[in-house]
A = this chain, B = another copy of it.
Amino acid sequence: MYGRYTQDLGTFAKDEAARLRLQEGDTPQPRRPSELLEYTQGRCAPCRVCALQCQRFLISKVGEDWVFLILLGLVMALVSWAMDFAIATCLQAQKWMYGGLDTNVLLQYMAWVTYPTVLITFSAGFTQILAPQAVGSGIPEMKTILRGVVLKEYLTLKTFVAKVIGLTCALGSGMPLGKEGPFVHIASMCAALLSRFLSLFGGFYENEARNIEMLAAACAVGVGCCFAAPIGGVLFSIEVTSTFFAVRNYWRGFFAATFSAFIFRVLAVWNKDEETITALFKTRFRLDFPFDLQELPAFAVIGIASGFGGALFVYLNRKIVQFMRRQKAINRFLMKKRLLFPALVTLIISTLTFPPGFGQFMAGQLTQKDTLVTLFDNQTWAKQGINDEFEYLGILEAWLHPRSNVFVTLVVFILMKFWMSALATTIPVPCGAFMPVFVIGAAFGRLVGESMAAWFPDGIHTDSNTYRIVPGGYAVVGAAALSGAVTHTVSTAVIVFELTGQISHILPVMIAVILANAVAQSLQPSLYDSIIRIKKLPYLPELGWGHHEKYNVRVEDIMVRDIRYVTLNCKYRDLQQVLHSTKMKNLPLVESAESMILLGSIERTQVGALLSTQLSPQRRLLMLRQKVLPEDGHRLSDSSIRFQISTETSSGTPARAALRKPLKPALKRVPSSPADSPPAGSTDHTGIALKSLFCANAATEPTEAQGTAYHKAKRVRISIVEEMILGDKMTPAEILEWEEQQLDQLVDFSSAKIDPAPFQLVEHTSLHKTHTIFSLLGLDHAFVTSIGRLVGMVSLKELRKAIEGSLTGKGVKVRPPLASFRDSTASTSEADTTALRQLWDRHQHHHMPREAGPGGDEDDDTPK
């Protein structure tokens, strides 16, 4: 928000101007026909007037938030339902094939394995071709986008289509993959597309701040319509995507998510799947005595174990990704045959789950949904002493193995699914990890519950009534705890209540989730943060749980003191030097090197543009022409023709392309063209190709080694110069001389865009507060000032380093080296005072040597 002031201001002003023009051009037009119609006495004139008025009214309403949210909820509910329907059909098809071929085990195996392999391979290939951005969960990217970073191509129609189709195929394959994360991404894309569509009816959707608010609501819708869990959806999306949450956006999320969940469940009723709107995985635990107080330790054990398990899952997932990347041989092979890795993984996993094979020991024939339904079941599976007549009915049969018992099946299921899920989520298809983890958690909870039921067959409570232990309740607790541990969220508790339709286990669930979070957060980052680190997305890490040292580190300990700056009275040569010596994207503009008073900040590209304008051949030729003009009148036409030719050769596209080509190898930045294009594009509209080239050049140079950069720039300039010889009659030596002359001129900043109020901190601001301000305002850098004077700069990088440094070296790095030099308040306040006095003294001497007298006069009076 704050960091992008300059862009903002420009675009905002332009948008508003455009809107105003639009309004001026637009609103009178629809009004005029209707006004005219009222006076024309046709047959259906009143009808048409009415229709027009309705239309106008509707268009005016399109801008309202609630219309947008309802549309978003509706679309997402339909998408979710249609996708669920398609996935169910896919899974049924697999089951049907598998069932139909029961005469031949080999054929059965072929069908069981080929079907998911084809689907996953198709999904991976389709996504890869259409939009590689659709791969993976999408929550890490949404977290980054909501922080204010613009990720390209992440919210386009192409990505939407790729994600929806890819996800359907991936889930239809029956692999342990989830729907939640991708759905957050799909909902966000849907919101972005919807707002672009609705902006056709009015300019309300062009505001960036508003779009970000809508994206936050869309994340809630994504989770809400995926699980029919509006409250849990809102909370989960807040926890997962936001650092600071604007409470005024709260209702948006609730409204949209509720509407979406409602429509999603109404569709089920309409499709005769359900009799009325109920929970997705409805449980029927007893209400009067849901659990005994003495069972709480068991729930706590589930929580703590889930915490360790969650951390292990995140660790395993990251290690698999890193292993695949590090093994260069594998990597090179896989890069060539991109679809081989998904196919291979699918093959292994489906082979292991093949029901007549190893799958019989891990309920391999059950789909994810069936697994959950059975795990949340009300009955106790383990055989209990007296009443042994319990029978495994229907799909529950899968858990029963004639030569093994339920405990073994559960343990095998948990262990196998654990690594399978961690592996499957690294496949480059659109997929999430929430649901697989949720299922594993439920199985673990069930295991603990069944053990408890076997241990206390008649329940623990030995009062008047006998209350048996309900293992299904343990499954609910385990599901919430493990998914909470992996995602570092507490709201999974709410999600399970909404999923099961029962809230009676609230205390066990809350206790387990909190314990799981406490353990997992102290061991590993959340799965989404882990992916952010793997993908190296620009994000600020969280401050950990109650590390006090963060309050003692101050900005002055972490800031960069030796920064380059631009002064108001500098020469172009200074600009050149600054550009060569620093990589900063925003340069501070100070009044003068002595005063160091911060006036604003100027973007690097702007500085480059200033320089290239100053040194542009056009300007040189213009100057030449001006020199020539008064000398000889008849050479005017000749020079102007030459001038025209020169501009044409330099700004024409073929010449430009020819210029660019040889430059690239010289700069050794082959894949840099997309990175180069934005600055080039932004200055391109001025129409001077060479200028933009120069500008882009100056901006990207410092990413090279510092030493060679200058020489390369020289070389580039000379090559341009060589090109230009055709255009004008100056020799390269003359041109160089002219350029040197130009560089000695004072900079004219009047054409540059300057951010007039960059964010400022003071030296004493604590790391904690700096982190808060950076994440609140979405900054990526801030200048450190002391009474108007620039003293340093802090960027996201320094902050990240400081936080990670102070977090990893817990006991040791409590105070960074610099902090230990500061022990009392006296020194710092003195420093302030000194700075102020310097400033003051300077003013005394420079501006009013006369007025400094009176103070001295009195001293002179004393000796009288």
Residues of A within 8 A of B (CB): 1-2, 5, 9-10, 12-14, 16-17, 20, 63-66, 204, 207, 209-210, 230-231, 235, 238-239, 242-248, 250-251, 254-255, 258, 261-262, 265-266, 269, 275-279, 282, 284, 287-293, 461, 463, 490, 493-494, 497-498, 501-504, 506-507, 510-511, 514, 517-518, 542-543, 545-546, 548, 551-552, 568-569, 589, 591-592, 597-600, 623, 626-627, 630, 741, 744-746, 748-751, 754, 756-757, 760-762, 764, 766, 768-769, 772-773, 776-777, 785-788, 823-825, 828-829, 832-833, 836-837, 839-840, 843-844, 847-848, 851-852, 854-855, 858, 861-864
Contact = CB atoms under 8 A, between A and B. Distances in A.
Chain B CB within 10 Å — which of A507, A630, A757, A837 has the most? A757
Contacts of A823: 17, 20
Chain B CB within 10 Å — which of A2, A209, A490, A748 has the most? A490
B772 A12 contact: no
25 contacts: A1-B769, A14-B825, A16-B825, A17-B823, A63-B546, A66-B545, A209-B769, A230-B506, A244-B245, A244-B247, A261-B507, A262-B507, A262-B510, A266-B293, A275-B461, A275-B463, A276-B461, A278-B504, A287-B501, A497-B497, A569-B840, A569-B844, A592-B847, A756-B786, A756-B787
A847 to B, nearest CB: 6
Contact of A13 (B64, B245, B829): B829
Nearest to A241: B247
A282 B293 contact: no
Given A543-B248, A756-B832, A506 B510 contact: no
A788 B514 contact: no
B772 A246 contact: yes
A837 B510 CA distance: 62
A763 B231 CA distance: 40
Sorted nearest first, the 9 A-B pairs with minimum C-beta distance are: A13-B825, A599-B788, A65-B546, A757-B760, A258-B510, A503-B503, A756-B787, A245-B245, A757-B762
Given A254-B490, A744-B854, A847-B569, A276 B247 contact: no
Nearest to A238: B247
Given A9-B764, A843-B568, A293 B276 contact: yes
A754 B209 contact: no
Given A17-B825, A832-B754, A840 B568 contact: yes
A324 to B, nearest CB: 32
A463 B746 CA distance: 87
Given A1-B769, A756-B832, 6 more contacts: A209-B551, A248-B542, A258-B514, A278-B290, A282-B287, A597-B599
Given A251-B517, A490-B250, A497-B503, A836 B749 contact: yes
Contacts of A242: 247
B514 A251 contact: yes
Contact of A230 (B278, B510, B592, B825): B510
How many protomers of this protein does the assembly include?
2
B843 A569 contact: yes
A759 to B, nearest CB: 8
B265 A12 contact: no
Given A244-B244, A250-B490, A510 B757 contact: no
B851 A569 contact: yes
Nearest to A568: B843
B757 A761 contact: yes
B293 A269 contact: yes
A246 B20 CA distance: 37
A285 to B, nearest CB: 9
A348 B610 CA distance: 80
B269 A764 contact: no
Contacts of A600: 787-788
A820 to B, nearest CB: 10
Contact of A777 (B551, B749, B773, B839): B773
A244 B243 contact: no
Chain B CB within 10 Å — which of A210, A543, A591 has the most? A591
Contact of A243 (B235, B247, B843): B247
Contacts of A504: 278-279, 501-502
B514 A745 contact: no
Nearest to A754: B787
Contact of A828 (B13, B518, B626, B863): B13
Contacts of A828: 13
Nearest to A788: B599
Chain B CB within 10 Å — which of A788, A858, A861 has the most? A788
A26 to B, nearest CB: 16
Given A258-B507, A546-B64, A764 B13 contact: yes
A762 B2 CA distance: 11
Chain B CB within 10 Å — which of A262, A463, A517 has the most? A262
A130 to B, nearest CB: 34
Given A1-B769, A262-B511, A756-B788, A246 B244 contact: yes
